[in-house]
Amino acid sequence: MEQRLYDLHLRAGQLSGREKTCGKKTPYASEALAQQASEAHNRWEERKHDVEPYPCAFCHQWHIGGIMPLSLLEAMVASLANPTEQQD
């Protein structure tokens, strides 16, 4: 995984929180093991969506989750880091 994508995944995870990012998800010791798990999942005909590996800011291992393109991660990090104030 490219460094920029890696860093964005970590930041998005920190902003999203431990429960959503790490929670009860299976930890994988390496990106390669998480990649193998994601490929196996993506071959499963009953899956809801494809997944990809991502680094975890909390357990410092890897998990698998829904595919997030770079542009989506950037937008997510920007919106979570700078939430707009709601006006009444």
Parent domain of 7: 3-77
Q: Mean pLDDT throughout 43-48? A: 93
The predicted pLDDT at position 84 comes to: 65
Q: How many domains in the chain?
A: 1
Residue 86 lies in a domain: no
Residue 58 lies in a domain: yes
Q: Which residue has the tokens 């431990």?
A: 18
| pLDDT over 60 (residue 75) | yes
Q: How far apart are CA 42 and CA 49, in angstroms?
A: 8
Residue 28 lies in a domain: yes
Residue 51 lies in a domain: yes
Helix segments in 17-86, DSSP class H: 18-21, 31-43, 70-81
Residue 84 lies in a domain: no
- Predicted confidence band of residue 81 (pLDDT cuts 50, 70, 90): confident
Q: Mean pLDDT throughout 43-61? A: 96
Residue 19 lies in a domain: yes
- Predicted confidence band of residue 85 (pLDDT cuts 50, 70, 90): very low
| pLDDT over 70 (residue 4) | yes
Q: How far apart are CA 76 and CA 86, in angstroms?
A: 18
- Predicted confidence band of residue 82 (pLDDT cuts 50, 70, 90): confident
